[in-house]
Amino acid sequence: MPSSSVNEATVENTSEKLSDCHISCNGSHDDFVEDDVLEDDRPQRPPRCVGKCIMQLGEVTQHNIMQLKKINQAVFPVSYNDKFYKEVVSAGELAKLAYFNDIIVGGVCCRIENKDGHKKLYIMTLGTLAAYRRFGIGTLMLDHVIYLCHKDPTIESVYLHVQTNNESALDFYKKFGFQVVGTAEKYYKRIEPDDAFILEKPMNVNL
- For the residues of the chain, what is the DSSP string, one character each? ----EE-HHHHHH--SPPTT-EE---TTHHHHB-S------SPPPPPEEETTEEEEEEE--TTTHHHHHHHHHHH-SS-B-HHHHHHHHT-GGGEEEEEETTEEEEEEEEEEEEETTEEEEEEEEEEE-GGGTTSSHHHHHHHHHHHHHHH-TT--EEEEEEETT-HHHHHHHHHTT-EEEEEETT-SSSSSS--EEEEEEE-SS--
Burial class of residue 180 (count of CB atoms within 10 Å of its CB; 0-12, 13-18, 19+): middle
The residues annotated as belonging to the active site are 122, 161
